[in-house]
Amino acid sequence: MWTNRRLILIFYKPLFILNIALSLFSVYFISTNGWHANMGFNNVVVTSLLKLAGYAVSAGYQYTMLQNVYFYYRNAGVSVLKLYLQVLVIDFGIYTLLLLFYNLLS
């Protein structure tokens, strides 16, 4: 996974702001509404679905606006799908750590 760290960072750079903003909004949503909502939905599930929607939007943005950059990764011998998977795992790890820190501090 870490053999192409520089490529992962280059690939993640356009997605970073949107994904971190969604992570911070999700933690804020949980901090204001609690872990469980009044209607029976678990807020962690709701914010995780929000994160998945954010991943879809960011992947769609990158696919439509930055499609010519994919040739750079393919020429480097790296699968774009593998890059997406690695970036999503890293970002979901950041989201999980933010939730863990919020839980420890509250």
pTM of the predicted protein model = 0.78
Place of tokens 């911070």: 24
Q: At what angle do helices 80-105 and 5-33 cross, to 10 degrees?
A: 40
18, 58 contact by CB (below 8 A): yes
- Tally of domains in the chain: 1
50, 22 contact by CB (below 8 A): yes
pLDDT per residue, tens digit, the chain (106 aa), is 556 777 778 778 878 888 889 888 888 888 887 777 666 678 888 888 888 888 888 888 877 877 777 777 778 787 888 888 888 888 889 888 998 998 888 7
Provide the residue range defining the domain that includes 18: 2-105
